[in-house]
Chain A
């Protein structure tokens, strides 16, 4: 049983390393992630499922980690069935999602006696430690606007509330503290307000622009 489960992951791991040729950094990251998945699997000792991003990349993930997704939790699929996820755009997105799930599935949750219930619960009941929050922030740190968008759509689609919170917070952080023009530059916005409009807004929000 164990050996049979081992095989698909190894294949995927090879696949990921094979991709390293084209993009070394990505490959390293991918194979690290592939290893993380394997380790997690061994620790969990339970079944895994296979997910496929929209661009065809396949990844194996433990069912325990997948429980964080409201859509995937409780699925009866075994490792042989590939679950296509059309709203998870790229393999990179999928890897980030899986990384998040593995990390959070492994965290001890304060205040719950039943760990499997905690893993699947929404962010309302979960007490996230400061370290974990730091880790979450780091996870989304280097991502481009496109990556963030992909991740947001994936988290929304899969129903991973915690990850959704993290990405939304990141997007909000990209807005906070900026002037209006800086916001326009960050998000590629054209100013289509008339000068009269702008004048009214300046008056309305005078208290905000006082700096």
Chain B
């Protein structure tokens, strides 16, 4: 399922604002009392006093985590007012952190390195790993050997490629306080809290007939978790890392803005610790590795696949998704108004879904729906916005989906997904008679050329699709439109009946529209 990716991705799907436009909400957990040596403690957003940091978070003095503390600590420190940041940035001091990082993000590696040596404060800021990630991906594409951090990766590559996992020795620097940088480190090193995973209120179904599914789930456009419909999939038994490495040897898969082989990707996934890990999300996996395409089949409920009338010209419709714990997709609506199913072969995913008319907390789509501003990372969303779900317009549908299960994502629904462990899944988007009219409407929109995803020829997709449907299924569109009108009329009738029934003063039949 095409998702809302990190801004580094090529704008094939949702167009994304430049990453600077996300503003971090200040974490409430700023009141740490201990120096961040082993385990940070502080008032959590939910009142819980501890962060659950990943075990590896503080064992190496290698990343910025040991270099930055939240501003709250400054108040309680031995010398309040002595923020290294203030002393060490000179003329750059008035710049807020996000702008400062924007400027640094424009620098080539040499300049960033030269800057790092200018002062302690600049060393800290320039060590912000996402800066180095951009440099690695920009210069090496997918041909990098991940060395534990992006900075270490770049340094190793630039120093003649010694790809071992020993991190560059970090300078021991104390006294740098910054909420923005600290939050970034925190999100990269936190694990999901128990209370974020506790709710599981999705409807679970097993063994329903296709007719039942259509009538009770697809028509009403409700999410559901289906059990037991992957039993026939060879993938469930066969897809181990070894098997996948073997059959895909040498083939490169789409990972964010780059392509890379599976062995490189696994080496990255095993050692990464960042806010938004790169996610392997490939729309051509079955073409690249036909065995993968043969190891699964579309569950019976989703076999109606109307975009297939377009043949080779159909938009991207199926993806293999592989990612480590912490990877996922932040809130988005699937493009083209399609519906989707997501089947887990290995691992576990946490889902949070809102109906089409309810924008999730912390999410701000632009007026035309072309852009979605969401929090920096999934972890940050949970930290700062999950709590608001309790009192939101409508409470979300949530679940944890595990191997062998399938989640149905109805068209138009907002959804957020995070992998709780390394996960391998297959997802497809589709158009059936239930959402054909929606899809046609979507493609007719004036800005469709920006919004329509997954095809090369965006502008003519509506006409092509419409023409192809009329050719392959003559009368289908008219039939559906007729049925839709009938339903709308029936609803109106119902409404006006209530208007008259409730209006006691009228004393008679009254039209009210």
Contacts and interface: CB of A to CB of B under 8 A. Distances in A.
Contact of B16 (A124, A187, A200, A209): A124
B205 interface: no
Given A176-B111, A204-B168, A145 B91 contact: yes
Interface string A134-158: 0000000000010001001100100
B21 A179 contact: no
Contacts of A175: 103, 107, 111, 114-115
A193 B171 CA distance: 10
B139 to A, nearest CB: 12
B95 to A, nearest CB: 7
A149 B93 CA distance: 10
Interface in B55-78: none
Interface in B138-184: 155, 158-159, 168-169, 171
Contacts of B25: none
Interface residues of B, number: 45
B118 A197 contact: no
B11 interface: yes
Interface string A26-40: 000000000000000
A193 to B, nearest CB: 6
B90 interface: yes
Contacts of B472: none
Contact of B119 (A161, A168, A189): A189
Contacts of B89: 187, 189
Q: How large is the interface on A (under 10, 10 to 19, 20 to 34, 35 or more residues)?
A: 35 or more
Contacts of A125: 15, 450
A193 B94 contact: no
B312 to A, nearest CB: 26
A124 B15 contact: yes
A142 B437 CA distance: 57
Nearest to B173: A197
A170 to B, nearest CB: 9
A114 B21 CA distance: 24
A161 B21 contact: yes
Interface in B69-101: 87-92, 94-96, 99
Interface of B: 11, 15-18, 20-21, 87-92, 94-96, 99, 102-104, 106-111, 113-120, 122-123, 155, 158-159, 168-169, 171, 371, 446, 450
Given A189-B90, A191-B119, A192-B120, 11 more contacts: A161-B18, A176-B108, A183-B115, A184-B118, A184-B119, A187-B89, A189-B118, A190-B87, A197-B123, A202-B117, A207-B158
